[in-house]
Structure formats: structure tokens, C-alpha cells
Structure 1
Amino acid sequence: MADLSAPCDLSGQTALVTGAAGGVGAEIAVCLERAGARVFATDLDSARLADVRTDRGAAWDIRALDVSNIEDVGSVVGSVCEEAGKIDILVNCAGIYRMQFLPEITEPEWDRLFAVNVKGAAFMTQAVAQSMTAAGRGGVIVNVASAAGRRATAGSIAYSASKAAVISLTQGCASELAASRIRVNAIAPGAVETEMWDQVQRDYAGRLPVDGPTVKEMQLSMTPMGRICTAEDCARAVLFLASDQSAFVTGQTLNVDGGLWMN
């Protein structure tokens, strides 16, 4: 019987993390590496990713990757499999945000959001799952969705729709891949203290009454635990889902939002 008190140990495992130059992605990559995994960190901005690796004192292998480009996805997944021999864990963290009210949404902006947030996660999952299935060892896939995918708000129609699609993608892939011993789960953070959250606050600030509450004050008022989520909160949740501590968990989206959304 497994030691249920043991920490999440990923020794000997290979993890591939997309969007690793961002605040949440970088923290996830650091967390998985500290748990013993060999981490392949990817991002569209490989130069920034290299700087983040240095700043965090990490030893990640780095790959430039545009998750919205299917050829790029296949090339990078193939490269990682060739070098490491396997991929045990995939974390789909690459994502973009745009504040857009309904009259402002344009087709190119809508398509770009879905290309990165949904198409990227779908085809990364497809490519890695094929490798995992062929190897016959199973594996773990964790998607980074959002509380916005649970409940859309004004100004986040396209973004919320894309994150709702990620939650649905998680459920469908979990159903299909369970027979191959591949678990697929997601996390759904609320607002996270990152550069993206800073951008959200700037975007909404000009739309709010001058004498009213700030975006952060409104977020805190809706969060029972009374603080904003951190990248570390997200990384801990991903580590749990990536480890054997969640060996019988699949198709789930774990809310990491301090009680903002309860179900």
C-alpha cells in the first residue's frame, strides 16, 4: 500500500509545461522540478523564458513553442520525446486574455483567443496523449482553465467562453483517455496575482465609477477567504493533480479561488 503521508514525488518523471514564461506557468514549472521531475518549459517568448529560468535558479530544458501552430506542437512534442524518451506529465498553461465587451469583439481577436486557449490545449493534448498511449505507461494532463469559465462577467465574453471550452475539453479527453491510464484534470483559478491580473485591473479601471470600489476590492468582497490567489496556490494544485496522490481523480476541474465558486 502506498504511503499516504508521503509528499508528492515526481522523481524520474518528465513534465512538459506550456506558457512557462508567465507567472503561473513559471511557478508550476518550478514546483514540478522541485518535486523531482525533469521539466521541459515552453513559451512563445523563449528569450523571456530563459531569463525566468535564470531568475528562478531552475534547470529546465527550454523550447520555443507557439501552441496555436499545430506543426510547431508536433515538432516540440517530438523533440521532447526524442531527448527524454517519454512525457509523463503535460501542463497546458499557455493562455492569453483580452477584455472585450460584446460590441467590441472582432473576429481576429476572437479567433486568436480560441487558437491559444483552446486549440493549443487540444492539440498539445492530442500529441502528448498519442505518445503516452504508444508508450503504454499512462500519464497525466493538467489544463489551466479559469473561474471565468464557470461564470462569465461583462467584458470577458470571449475569454470566459474559451475557458469554459477548456473545462469541457478536460472532461471529454478524460473520458476518452482513461482506458489508456491517462488522467486529465484542470484547475480553475480566480484572479491570480500576476501580470495578467495587473492588466485586468488596468483594463477595468477606466470603466468603473470614480467613487466606487476598485476591481481588487470587488474581487476580495466576493472571495470568502479574503485574498487574491497566488501563482503558488495554482502550482500546488497542479502538483497534486500531477502526482499519485490523485491517482483516482480524472475529468475534474479543481477550483483554486478561495471559495469564489463553490460546487
Structure 2
Amino acid sequence: MKNIILTGTSSGIGYALALQFANAGHQVLAISRKTPKILIEHPNVSCLAIDLSDEKQLDKVTHFISSTWKHVDALIHNAGSLILKPFEELTQADFEKVYQINVFAVANLTRICLPYLQKGSHVVTISSMGGIQGSLKFAGLAAYSSSKGAVITLSELLAEEYKEKGISFNVLALGAVQTEMLEEAFPGYQAPIQASEMADYIYNFTLTGNKYFNGKVLQVSSTNP
């Protein structure tokens, strides 16, 4: 059984994924601003209420790992922030808000976990087809899509930097998935994939994908985007 750190567990893919890992017997550290009661009560889940945009709050993660687990087998960066606005209306504050969650928190949490990652550990970053060069883009997502492109490059760089330690870094660029974030941004839009279905894919990839991939970006989408 593995020690799994997962962000963005209050709903959608992250919530379904946390339950799937926990129900399979793995130990899960669920990180989100709000924590569903079922995760709090699950014997295999430890919950930390953290605002990922506040770097100081990540000290809670360091304390938990050092005092409880001692090592981390997998880290899944699933939390995301999305602002839908025409580019001419986007402010620097808007960009900073999105990048704090989608980029800076990914970098900060990875850095915190590095001393506890070991040979065979797998870091999975959830990106988007919007961050893939040449893919069809949704108008109004300049901050979101550019941030998702940034973490792709970051993951590729980390895979190279830490390959000698046997730590794998991979990215899953997801297409449209029926989540609360999608529904809020695009009311009425129906994605072809449910959150639980995508969680199942990410679950298996996290446990086995690093046997076949490192520093790679896999496009997980049945549509364009």
C-alpha cells in the first residue's frame, strides 16, 4: 500500500480519486480548502485544510509527512483555478490568482515533498488540453490555459533534474470532464467524461504509469479539446 498526496479533493475528480485510493487500502493525504465529511471519516484518509495560494500553509504538509509517513510514494497535483474572461478584461491580479494555484502551488508542494520522495515515486500533474500547443482553445481562458502550459514545461524539467534519483514526473493533459468547475465556467456544456471515470484513469496511471513514462505529457481526451 502506498502513501498518496492529492490536492483539490473537495469535489470532482480529486474527491473521487481520494476515495478510490483510500478504498483500495492506500493512505491518502487529502489537501483542499474544504473537506467533505466522508473523507474526514475515512480511516485511510488524512485531511488538511489548506489554501494552496498561501505558501506558508504548506508547512502543515511538511509537519504531517515528517511526523507520520516519513516518505511519499505519489504526489498528484489536481487542484485548479479557472477564470473565464475576455483577455482585455483580465488583470494582473486575475493572472496571479490562477497562477498561484495552477503553477506556484505545484512548484512549492513538489519542493516540500522532494526530501520524502524516493526511487519509484511518481509525481503526476493534471494539466489541460488547453495547455497543449496546437490544440483548440476555449476563448476567455488566457490565464488558465497558459498556466496549464507552464506546468507541462515545469514537469519536463523536473523529470530531467531528478531522473538520477529515480523519481518520475508526468503530466496528464485532460480534455473536458464533467466537474463543478466546468459547469460554473460553461453552464449547460456536457462533457463526454464524468469525474469518476477520469479518476479511475488517473488512479491506474499514478500507480503504474511511471514504469513506462517519465517527463512525458499524455493527452487524455476523446474530443478536441
Q: TM-score, structure 1 length as denominator?
A: 0.77
Partner of 1:142: 124
5 Å-filtered alignment, 1:61-76, equals 61-76=46-61
Q: Secondary structure at the residue paired with 2:160?
A: helix
The answer (yes or no) to whether the contact 1:88–1:139 under 8 Å persists in 2 is yes
Whole-Å separation in 2 of the counterparts to 1:81 and 1:238: 26
Q: Secondary structure at the residue paired with 1:260?
A: coil
Note the alpha carbon deviations across 1:200-223, whole angstroms, 9 max, x for none: 223xxxxxxxxxxx744xxxxxxx
The answer on 1:110 being equivalent to 2:99 is no
The structural deviation recorded for 1:249 is 1.0
The structural deviation recorded for 1:79 is 1.4
Q: Secondary structure at the residue paired with 1:98?
A: coil
Q: Secondary structure at the residue paired with 1:88?
A: strand
**Candidates 166, 185, 193, aligned match of 1:181:** 166
The answer on 1:29 being equivalent to 2:18 is yes
The answer (yes or no) to whether the contact 1:30–1:58 under 8 Å persists in 2 is no
Note the alpha carbon deviations across 1:96-138, whole angstroms, 9 max, x for none: 1110111110111110100111001111111112322xxx444
Q: TM-score, structure 2 length as denominator?
A: 0.89
Partner of 2:140: 155
Q: Which amino acid aligns with 2:131?
A: G
The answer (yes or no) to whether the contact 2:122–2:168 under 8 Å persists in 1 is yes
The answer on 1:130 being equivalent to 2:94 is no
**Candidates 166, 184, 195, aligned match of 1:231:** 195
Note the alpha carbon deviations across 1:136-167, whole angstroms, 9 max, x for none: 44411111111111243311111100111111
Partner of 2:37: 51
Partner of 1:205: none
Identical positions, percent: 24
**Candidates 214, 217, 220, aligned match of 1:253:** 217
Count of aligned pairs: 222
Q: Which amino acid aligns with 2:70?
A: G
CA RMSD of aligned residues (A): 2.1
Residues 77 and 234 of structure 1, relative CA distance in 2, 3 Å threshold: farther
Q: Which amino acid aligns with 1:146?
A: S
* Structure 2 alignment gaps of length 5 or more: none
The answer (yes or no) to whether the contact 2:4–2:28 under 8 Å persists in 1 is yes
Residues 245 and 153 of structure 1, relative CA distance in 2, 3 Å threshold: closer
* Structure 1 alignment gaps of length 5 or more: 1-10, 203-213, 217-226
Partner of 1:85: 70
Q: Which amino acid aligns with 2:105?
A: G
The answer (yes or no) to whether the contact 2:6–2:18 under 8 Å persists in 1 is yes
